[in-house]
Every structure is written in structure tokens, then in C-alpha cells.
A and B are shown apart, each in its own frame.
Chain A
Amino acid sequence: MARAARSTGGVAPPSSTPLRRALSAGAVACLVLLVLALPVLLETRTYELARAAEYAIAILGLVVLVGFTGQISLGHGAFMAIGGYTSGVLMFHTGVAGALTIPLAGVVAGLIGFFFGFPALRLSGVYLALATFALAVAVPSILKRFEGLTGGSGGLVLDVLAPPGRLHVRPERWLYYLTVSIALVLFALTWLLLRGRAGRALRAIRDGEVAAVSFGVNVALYKALAFGLSAAYAGVAGSLLVIDSGFVNPDTFPIELSIRILVGAVVAGLTTLGAIPLGALFIEFLPIYSQQVSQQAPAVIYGAALILIMVLLPSGAAGLIRRLLSPVIGRL
């Protein structure tokens, strides 16, 4: 993983001749258009595509953490649960419309992630993995304990998502565009962030803490910030997950969810933003198609994919694409 992290120097394009810059701008524009047109092209899959966009947000959070600080979390489902329950509790107890709770869900998860990040960053790689894994396994039982607020194991039944006011859109399209807009904004934000000062600081940390300290980077603060940001993304994704399901209970956020996100991030290559949608589509659609073989096929394939990618292609889909494209791009 560290190997992969180092070989792909962040998100900035490797070089920028005017031609290349125009090409990548064009490519991004085409992609955005495609994303907006998808529900029309794939009418019947709108809901699943919205789900994939939710996963993409969660994976984005993980990639920010893994790719840019070199640390790993196996328990991002826990922060999704915090975001999800923030929305769920607000909607259930105050009747606020779901969409309005999303920013708060992100903020709450982000703050908790930030404060979790301070002690967590003192742990080295394996221990952080251990701690976050245990956290994700423990979250459902914590949720069950605070029954008054969370509805215990029964959970909370919420209003189904409806488009606001007089807007006449089908609910799943509304969900799709809501989710995708949020995802696009967050992607753009992350991209800008990582190009700026903060991004340089984060990469400095990843590539060597000692050097970062000597350049005057406050390592503890930046790591906690990265953790908080990453948790905030997870919180937003969790909030959307709850809003689109119309209910929430502790089993909405099992350890399998954390692992699923992790698989998505690994498939995407862990360190680049570009391939995240592929990772998200993979974890959303793989179960749908492979369940026709067997109820258990998705888990088996996830596991096998994780092992094979780590062994054969630690840079994931991004690395594969880069390798396939490099003869083409190299000539431009």
C-alpha cells in the first residue's frame, strides 16, 4: 500500500501541457454530463446508481485518509452510523426534512472523527486498523444501549424521501440528483483542497513525518483534520443511506458495511480520486448480479477481490487504467 501511495504523487496531473490540460478538462466535462444523464439512460437502475454515489462519498472519505496520510481505517461504517443516526434522530424527533439534516450529519461525524483522530494518530498502522475495526464492530451494541434516542434494536422508522414543494420528480430521481450533486461538490472540494497548502501538508505527512515536522507542519493537527474530514464524508454518506432507506437500525451499519467501503476503496486504488466511481459501482452492483449465483457469492468475491488486488495490483483500478493508458497519454 505504501508502495502504491508513493508511486502516485497525489491527485495533481503529472504534467500539464496546454493540450493535456484541455483534454482533461474535456474529459471531466464529459464525465459530469454522463453522470447527469445516467438516470435517463439507465431508468430502472436509478436507485442503485444513487446508492453507488453514496458509496462513492464514503470511499472518498477513506481515500482522503488512506491515500494522503498513509493511515487506514477499517471502521468507517462507525462514522457512517454517526451521520446516519444524526439524521435519523433529527428526522424522527423533530420532523425536519431529511435533506436538511445532511450538513449537520457531516459536521457531527466530522467533529467526532476529529477528536477520535487525536489519540488515534498516535497509533501506528496496524493498531489503528485494530482500533477502528473494533469500533465498527462495537457500534451496533452502543446504539442499542441508548434506546430512548435511537429506538434500540428496533430502530427508527422515518418518512420516505420526497422531493421538496411542488417539484414533480420521481423520488428516486430526486434522490439520485441530490446524492450526485453532493458527491460532485465533495469531489471538487477535495480536489481543490488536496492541491492547496493542506494537501501538500498531508502528503508531507504521508511521505515522512520527520520531514514534515521539520518543515513546520503541525503533524498532530493535520492528521486529526484529515481524520475528521474523512469521517465527515462518511457521515454524509451514512446520512444519505438512512434518508434513502426510510428507516435506521443498528444493523444498517454492520461491520460488513465498513469492509464493503474498504473493498471499494481498494478497487479504486486507494490514492487517486479518479477511479472512485468505479470502486463505488463495483460494490453496489457486484452483489446485485452475483446474488443470482448464490446469496453468499458477493462476500466470497469481495474477499477474493481484496486478496487478489493486494497481491497482484496494489494500485487498484486506477493503476490498471494508468498502465493501460500510459502508451496513449505518453504520446500526447
Chain B
Amino acid sequence: MALLELEGVEARYGQVRALHGISLAVEEGQVVALLGANGAGKTTTLRAVSGTVRRTGEIRFEGRSIVRGSPEGAARLGIAHVPEGRGTFAELSVWDNLRMGAFVRRNRRAVSADLERILVHFPWIEERRGQQAGTLSGGEQQMLALARALVARPRLLLLDEPSLGLAPLVVREFFGIVRMLNQEEGLTVLVVEQNANIALTVADRAYVLEVGEIAVSGSAEELRRNESVRRSYLGY
């Protein structure tokens, strides 16, 4: 049984239908990439999973249907969604942003332990803990958003274009951390990326969305070799 399964999921914004029945699966412990042109519905797919857009069809998380749930319900089940634009609490301090990540957790000791472990990857956060999060640089905010999601100890991490606006070096650092967490702690990730190169390096599997439908899917290896994917998304 896959950790997350979508079957014939449709989603709409008012009259605009953004997803026309998509099906995909994310196995436990995998990193899955979601590729596609602008407006293809990648963001909407993630939002359908976390419940921030109206959707129909079937969405199962750990085998249970969550299609009628709310975003806060999804968070409580262990789905951490780092949205497009990072979702920083701009007016709260860096530290309070991290505390918000742990909102769904009860065991304070475990949270402190996790924080310590996570901050190893983001050593600068400790020094900036009192700073207003909105004043961090874009890259720092992206790292903070990742850290915030990790504090929740999610079963599934949804990342929406984490590389947006980051310097190439930082992008590699970011995905390095994701990969490491995946390998060392079995973190499951569904990541939307424009940067197909790096996404397909990190991911185990990938789906390509076109106008609200899944056009291609397969292992990262297969997609890298796929002629049309290569031309459209990898650029060589």
C-alpha cells in the first residue's frame, strides 16, 4: 500500500477546473517529483492533497480517505505542506515560526530533541532566532520553511518549487538536505519542481503534468531517458 494515493482527483477554483482527474501514488520512503509547465496544475495537486482547494475524487493517506478533510486535519495526520511562496509567518520571529511547525505535536521533549537534530542542518537559525522572519532573505526563508515543516515530523512532506529564486549552490544544498533526510530517516517527499534536472537527480519517481492531467510517469531514470521529457523539461 502506498503512503499517498490519488485516484481521479479533480479540483476547481470557482468555475475554473484545474485538475481533470489525476491519479498518482507515493510510496513510503520515496522522493517523488511532479513536473510540468506553468499552469499545468502542480500547485493545485499539492493543494488538493493538503485540502486547501476544493476537490473531488479519491485521496488516500495511509489507506484512509482524506478527501473530505480540512487542511488542519491533514496537518494532524502528518502531512506537512510547504506552499508556493514559503508560507512564512512574516511578522513572527524565526523561533516562533519553528514553534508553529511543532503545533500539531504534543510531546515537548521529543520536539526539543528533534529541534536540536534539525538545527544541525541549519546552523544559522540559532543565531537569528529573535529576528522577524519576514526580514530573512528569500533563501533563508526557504530553509526556514523546510525546517518548520521538519519540526512537525511529517509522514509526508509536500514541497512546492523550493528552488524558486535560490542561487544554484543553495538549491543543491537544499536538495542535499532533503535527500539525506530521506535516506537516513525515511522521510517521504512529494516535490514540485521547475528545475527538472535537480528534481530527477534526487527523486525516485516522477510524474509529468500537462493541463491538469498526468502525461508521463515512471522512475526518475526512465524519465531522464524519455525523449520528449528531455526536450521539454531538461533542455538537452
User: Do A and B share a direct contact in the complex (Cβ within 8 angstroms)?
Assistant: no
B residues near A, CB below 8 A? none
